[in-house]
Amino acid sequence: MEKLAALVPRPRVHLTRFHGVLAPNTKHRKHIIPTPPSTTPTQEKTDQSLDDKKNGSTKKKCITWAQLLKRVFKIDIEICNVCGGKMAVISAITDPEVIQKILEHLKLPTRSPKIHPSRGPPQHHCKWLWRRRHPSLP
């Protein structure tokens, strides 16, 4: 047990230890590790931030779900399909009973589709067909 206990790391201790020039207190670390970007803004960045303040736009830390839909699925729900104007989200419906009533009114299915069992990879019973599809392989 004593040998096994020696292998368990102490709590709240980093498991990666750096030695040599990468060690935290070495004299040569400043020559090896890149310096972080400067915190003083350049004139170009200052001009850009002034323009952003004039336009009322600021950088947001979080992304809205509408922007995520646009990024991932290329669905832009903020633009109207008919006129191309900007649309706003009024509310999100999360109550299952209300969702079911809306779907019934629109004559859409209210139940999720039946889940079929997954199938295995295709089996190559016919060697001549497999060779015809993959001529470069043996």
Examine residue 18 and state whether it is found in any structural domain, yes or no: yes
How many distinct structural domains can be found in the chain? 1
Under 8 Å between Cβ of 92 and 66: no
What pLDDT score does 53 carry? 54
Q: CA-CA distance, 39 to 90, in Å (whole number)?
A: 40
What pLDDT score does 60 carry? 52
Examine residue 64 and state whether it is found in any structural domain, yes or no: no
Looking at residue 12, the DSSP 8-state letter turns out to be: T
Examine residue 27 and state whether it is found in any structural domain, yes or no: yes
Examine residue 19 and state whether it is found in any structural domain, yes or no: yes
Q: What is the pTM of this model?
A: 0.33
pLDDT in tens, 18-34: 778 888 888 888 888 77
Under 8 Å between Cβ of 69 and 77: yes
Q: Residue 21 sits in which domain range?
A: 2-32
For the segment 97-105, the average pLDDT, to the nearest whole number, is 93
Per-residue tokens: 112:
């999720």
Examine residue 7 and state whether it is found in any structural domain, yes or no: yes
Residues near 124 by Cβ (< 8 Å), separated by ≥ 6?
130
Examine residue 81 and state whether it is found in any structural domain, yes or no: no
pLDDT in tens, 27-57: 888 888 777 776 665 555 555 555 555 555 5
Percentage of the chain beyond pLDDT 90 is: 11
For the segment 86-111, the average pLDDT, to the nearest whole number, is 90
Examine residue 8 and state whether it is found in any structural domain, yes or no: yes
